[in-house]
A and B are shown apart, each in its own frame.
Chain A
Amino acid sequence: MSEIHFQEMASKSWLNILTFLCGSAIGFFFCSQLFSILLGEQGDTQPNILHNDPHARHSDDNGQNHPEGQMNFNADSSQHKDENTDIAENLYQKVKILCWVMTGPQNLEKKAKHVKATWAQRCNKVLFMSSEENKDFPTVGLKTKEGRDQLYWKTIKAFQYVHDHYLEDADWFMKADDDTYVILDNLRWLLSKYSPEKPIYFGRRFKPFVKQGYMSGGAGYVLSKEALKRFIDAFKTEKCTHSSSIEDLALGKCMEVMNVEAGDSRDTTGKETFHPFVPEHHLIKSYLPRTFWYWNYNYYPPVQGPGCCSDLAVSFHYVDSTTMYELEYLVYHLRAYGYLYRYQPALPENILKEVSQVNKNEDPKVKLGNP
């Protein structure tokens, strides 16, 4: 009797234990759900009092997450809301520059595309010159071949095209390569002191072979309207011909023949503005070896280190696609807040008059700021 009872008891207690465990598991789980609901609410009601938080997103995610999907591509405008571009816009109207970029069919996607996405947009007018026409990019077809020995042909035909179609649309005519980065705002500042009726051209001045010097092709050069007229005229009257395939030298010789002055493009402290290389090659002392051709070519005494380059640099050359965007970021985006630049160049006089007129109407506490 006791044995049977014992067995019954054993099985019953087994069952009891089982139900007990089941119950505790369910209780545990239930409680965890309850707690997480309660605590979850607490998390959401964290006081927002300290911030005027423009974006609802609370950074619970990894700091390394770049909010690509959420990126508002007009965000750029509010980052620049403290920026005053009146002077730059004024110069855009006053100093009209047509840029033409030397490129070719194989380089449209590799190089010209990045020029188009960055600095080219700041020209008053930009044209991409290629041996062939491309309606989509778009490029102008010069009907030449491609290659280094075609550069002068392309240059002559490009200037011809510009002269025939756009002479009255601009005051200055800038030539650049598809691996040149140009800072148009600084070019306008440089040119604002000169009249487009003056026969003059600017670039990185080299001294050999031409008495008054000539301008490096890669660093880019810019002709006044009068200089362009004389260049075209020279070929009509055969005062200049396609004498060589070395584009910059041949053009420089033609300029001298036509009495177009080779201008001094250095800033008011004597620092160069047009650069035949990327910033790194100029800023780092001893980057370019002493025996390099560059040292003997420069018209003015060449400088390595921080004195190499103006704060208001106009161009850099041998700029690859990544560097194109990096320069765009460094010039037009990244800055040191509140920093008073050492170099405070004067506004061109005619601009100065206009801007101070505008400022008379504004709050006198508003300073002109430092360009």
Chain B
Amino acid sequence: MLSEGSSFLKGVMIGSIFYALITVLGHIKIGHGNRMHHHEHHHLQAPNKEEILKISEDERMELSRSFRVYCIILVKPRDVSLWAAVKETWTKHCDKAEFFSSEDVKVFESINMETNDMWLMMKKAYKYAFDKYSDQYNWFFLARPTTFAIIENLKYFLLKKDPSQPFYIGHTIKSGDFEYVSVEGGIVLSVESLKRLNSLLNTSEKCPEQGGMIWKISEDKQLAVCLKYAGVFAENAEDAEGKDVFNTKSVGLFIKEAMTNHPDQVVEGCCSDMAVTFNGLTPNQMHVMMYGVYRLRGFGHTFNDALIFLPPNGSDND
């Protein structure tokens, strides 16, 4: 009996030690996980009214100019009509926007990434952006041509954010324990994140050339894995009401869903007033959004905003 008892106790000890060992090893693997945890959810918030009223107009303009957003749009030849729409609409509001294509396309100027693989395109584009522009821009926004973005609202959300911190923001999706920013809602990186990403990309073991062995992992997931190694974690951006600001759906789709799910509060339950992106638009819908966001409004509704953005030169649809 005694020998059974002692072997039982030995078993308990060994079992516990074994578990502890596994857990500790697991944590080391995840890396700086717990320590950086507080970066995950910033709940980006607007400054309050009293603060705004204290700032002079000149200060507001200066504050507005401190955000410099470089837009990367990844395109393929088949995207030509969306490419045209995007070029004529929202990208005019980026401080600089460049199109990165899989191959040369006659109709439009672009930077040729010379590859059909989306992950490779993304990596090369980020590398290009870092090498050329890391000292000129502090925020880097990547999107597909199916996305419509309101850069002014992006800048509003970045208000009070320090670009020297690693930010990786957008519409996040959880895949088990793993959280990544969906490319369909647009991906925002601070210059610090871009810097870390770039140094990782130069040491290729952590960021593999291709995705999984059997099936391809989407490029946005790949990016998240890479950034994780660099200690940069995905954050979901929400407004003061908790509504997503980066959207992977179009306004139309949101409305249709709202009409089914809460028909008595369709618009109120739909989308954020300060939405930054919508996705899945047709080229025509992009032009309608341009009119709806930058022109159409109800007379007599005014706002006292902390930032001031002027319309871009040489444009007639905003």
Contacts and interface: CB of A to CB of B under 8 A. Distances in A.
A147 interface: no
B231 interface: no
Contacts of B5: 19
A329 B294 contact: no
Contacts of B296: 279, 309, 311, 313, 330-331
A68 B173 contact: no
Nearest to B258: A325
A71 interface: yes
Given A325-B267, A371-B302, A339 B294 contact: yes
B19 A337 contact: no
A330 B259 contact: no
A23 B45 contact: no
Given A24-B11, A47-B38, A82-B49, A369 B302 contact: yes
Given A15-B4, A88-B299, A334-B292, A28 B16 contact: yes
B311 A328 contact: no
B7 A16 contact: yes
Q: Which size bracket describes the interface of B in this complex?
A: 35 or more
B297 A312 contact: yes
A23 B299 contact: no
A1 interface: no
B292 A58 contact: no
A259 to B, nearest CB: 30
Contacts of B244: 63-64
Contacts of B45: 51-52
B256 interface: yes
Interface string A185-223: 110110000000000000000000000000000000000
Nearest to A87: B300
B288 interface: yes
B108 interface: no
B230 interface: no
Of B156, B240, B248, B264, chain A has the most CB atoms within 10 Å of the CB of B240
B272 to A, nearest CB: 8
Interface stretch (A96-104, A171-179, A247-255, A360-368): A360-368
Interface in B147-201: 150, 152-153, 155-156, 171-174
B15 A24 contact: yes
A28 B46 CA distance: 48
A155 B4 CA distance: 98
A62 interface: yes
A336 B299 contact: no
B42 to A, nearest CB: 6
A312 B268 contact: no
B49 A35 contact: no
A63 B255 contact: no
Contacts of A47: 38
Nearest to B302: A369
A124 interface: no
B280 to A, nearest CB: 14
B288 A325 contact: no
B64 interface: yes
A183 B34 CA distance: 52
Nearest to B175: A62
A346 to B, nearest CB: 11
B53 A336 contact: no
Contacts of B173: 62-64
Nearest to B306: A338
Contacts of A82: 46, 49, 303-305
B252 interface: yes
A32 B17 CA distance: 11
Contacts of A311: 295-297
Contact of B292 (A43, A53, A118, A330): A330
Contact of B268 (A35, A76, A91): A76
Of B13, B16, B172, B173, chain A has the most CB atoms within 10 Å of the CB of B16
Nearest to A284: B284
A334 B49 CA distance: 19
Contacts of A357: none
A188 B291 CA distance: 21
B188 to A, nearest CB: 14
Contacts of B4: 15-16, 19
A24 B12 contact: yes
A118 B273 CA distance: 16
B295 A341 contact: yes
Interface string B257-279: 01101101111111111110000
B308 A75 contact: no
B304 A369 contact: yes
B314 interface: no
B133 interface: no
Given A63-B173, A83-B302, A322 B256 contact: yes
Interface in B14-42: 14-20, 23, 34, 37-38, 41-42
Contacts of A50: 38, 42
Contacts of A353: none
A83 B301 contact: yes
Interface string A17-47: 1011111111111111001000000110011
Give the 6 A-B CB pairs with smallest separation, nearest first: A23-B11, A27-B15, A369-B302, A88-B300, A24-B15, A330-B292
9 contacts: A17-B7, A26-B15, A55-B242, A88-B299, A189-B300, A334-B251, A335-B274, A345-B299, A367-B304
Given A26-B12, A186-B299, A338-B155, 12 more contacts: A19-B8, A23-B12, A43-B37, A46-B38, A81-B49, A91-B299, A279-B288, A325-B267, A329-B270, A337-B156, A339-B311, A366-B53
